[in-house]
Amino acid sequence: MNSITDLINDKAEEIFPGQASTNATPAPAQDDNIIDLENYDENEIFEEKTEPEIKTEPEPEAKMEPKTEDLDNISTDSPLDLEKLKSKLYSIKDQLDAVIRLVTDGKMIANETAEEKTESAPKENPDEKIIHGVFDGEKMISEDNKEYSIPPNYASKSKLVEGDTLKLTITNNGRFIYKQIKPTERIRKVGALVKDPANDQWYVQAENKKYKVLTASITFYKSKPGDEVVFMVAKDIPNTWAAVDNIVKK
């Protein structure tokens, strides 16, 4: 039995003699979806081919360049506030010194609390006398308003400040033992060292005010008038005396 293609070719030969063999044959298929009739299988499942999806890369975001006018507004030569920096560093040092004094003297909070609880208990040595008072810059003033002299070297080395609470233990052989049990809150300042020739009293002058300082502190640093003095005073009470913390020689 002739195929459909053969029948088409025969019919074309009758109508167009000599040309059927060339024109009747279909051109090669360019489309993948054209079905080959000779090899066609009606049970075959025809799947439509789709072009692969072309993915496009997202365009990179444009970087924002800083405006020239914004850069001009940035100050690169602003002067450093040395006074504030020095004050902050001195404040940190003051806090560290206070902690060191507490540790050295055995005045950590736990020990201080234990001491307060046991002071009312009978003393191990009944001959010892315990007196509490406040440092006034030179001496300790007791609760009954009596004055007790304090060695200048001890006050200078301990950097006692007006308002510090002290405990004095008088032993049975007459020895005086001082301990700082409650430091007052301090502030740190910087001033110039001056000396009054009339009485040889040393002062630190700062912010249009003069504070007395112990001669032992000046002698220790071998200072002279005009040297820069870093000193401490009580924060919340009027001050007549100052504790020398350090001296920068001129």
Rounded to 10 degrees, what is the CA torsion of 135, 140, 144, 147?
-140
Angstrom distances, CA of residue 58 to CA of 53, 54, 64, 142: 15, 13, 18, 84
Which residues does residue 134 pair with via DSSP β-bridges, in sequence order? 141, 165
pLDDT band at 93 (very low <50, low <70, confident <90, very high): confident
Question: Which tokens is 174 given?
Answer: 């007459």
Phi, psi of 215 (to 5 degrees): -60, -30
pLDDT, tens digit (0-9, with 9 covering 90-100), for 183-234: 999 999 999 999 999 999 999 999 889 999 999 999 999 999 999 999 999 9
Q: Under DSSP, is residue 166 helix (H, G, I), strand (E, B) or coil?
A: strand
pLDDT, tens digit (0-9, with 9 covering 90-100), for 102-126: 666 554 444 544 454 444 444 556 6
DSSP alpha helix (H) spans, the chain: 4-15, 20-23, 68-72, 82-104, 109-118, 152-158, 215-221
pTM strictly above 0.85: no
The predicted pLDDT at position 64 comes to 56
pLDDT band at 62 (very low <50, low <70, confident <90, very high): low
The predicted pLDDT at position 90 comes to 79
Phi, psi of 69 (to 5 degrees): -70, -30
Q: What percent of the chain has pLDDT over 70?
A: 58
CA geometry: angle at 250 spanning 239 and 84, to 5°?
A: 55
Angstrom distances, CA of residue 248 to CA of 4, 205, 220: 118, 14, 13
Average pLDDT, the chain: 75
